[in-house]
Amino acid sequence: MLRFSQVDVFSAEAFRGNPVAVVHDADDVTEEEMRAFARWTNLSETTFLLSPADAAADYRLRIFTPGTELPFAGHPTIGSAHAWLEAGGVPKTDGELVQECGAGLVRLRRGERLAFAAPPLIRSGPVSEEDRERIARALRIDPSQIVDLEWIDNGPGWVGVLMDSADDVLALRRLVYGETHVTPEEAEALIGLDESVEHAGPEWLDLFVEAMTDFVIHQQEPQGYVSEGNAAWLTDRIGHDGRVKTQTELELLIRVIEKATSVPPSLAGFALGQVREAVLHAAEARGMAVVLTGTRHFRH
């Protein structure tokens, strides 16, 4: 039996935070099962609490997105510490927890709120000219518009990009979303980009799902209602031999169903079928029946 908690991080109000699934007592869970479970939860991150290998740590944590493992991430660190304490974990030092993870030891202060000291960078320094050009292409700007950039990676693979002004940064978002809605050309480009990314991070998932949900739901009046035409376009565009190709596309389907006032029965049926396929795939990957008992905690 796997016991897990779903923790709502960064909010004191239910359903307003950033969720993370935390699996307790995961020492006997294989990496394959961890990856399957992370795909099944379909959250940006799922974590697994294990016994520490380092004597200085209170527990060890492994962090998975639906597509890959991360050495460190912020909100999963806070949520997992909360879940560990709620489950009866007792820190070795009063007022402090020590998490062992792929980025090393991370110290958390336990007060009115949990807070952590960011781990050292695992990669820093200048970015190659080749990567600079790739980043500029991804941002759809000329490389000359980038004032400076360097690696600031403590886990997820961050590159910090310095622009000339705040207005330039805001203009980048408008390049993706437009002044009002995503255009059909941009929607096609986003789907093509999503299908070309081998391991998409949570930030890409958020951007892709938000942009594409806007396109599918808000492209014709009355807003909020998915038209038969848009439903047919979506299922045709992401339904490869009757199945979606990426986890982000599955998340898009679920978000459209959640956000729309009304959707055609054909789209609702297609989405339900994809969710069923994902659950069956996860069960087959585990090779066994896993009984899950879930609890939800809401904490900032």
Q: Where are the domains of the chain?
A: 2-119+285-298
- Reply yes or no on whether the pLDDT at 64 is more than 90: yes
Average pLDDT over residues 195-199: 68
Provide the pLDDT confidence category of residue 300 given band limits of 50, 70 and 90. Answer: very low
Element of type H or E holding 274: helix 265-286
Cα 127 to the chain's mean position, in Å? 25
Quote the tokens at residue 263: 């959707």
Place of tokens 């959250």: 43
Assess if CATH 3.10.310.10 describes domain 2-119+285-298.
Answer: yes
Quote the tokens at residue 114: 């949990």
Catalytic residues: 45
Q: What is the pTM of this model?
A: 0.58
**CA–CA dist 129, 126 (Å, integer):** 9
Give the pLDDT score at 293. Answer: 44
Average pLDDT over residues 68-73: 92
pLDDT in tens, 111-131: 888 999 888 888 899 999 999
Average pLDDT over residues 239-262: 84
Provide the pLDDT confidence category of residue 52 given band limits of 50, 70 and 90. Answer: very high
Q: What is the mean pLDDT of the chain?
A: 84
Q: Give the residue among 2, 1, 100, 7 at the shortest CA–CA distance from 296.
A: 7
What 3-state DSSP class applies to 215? helix
**Among 97-106, 170-179, 283-292, where is mean pLDDT lowest?**
283-292
Cis upstream peptide for 222 (omega within 30°): yes
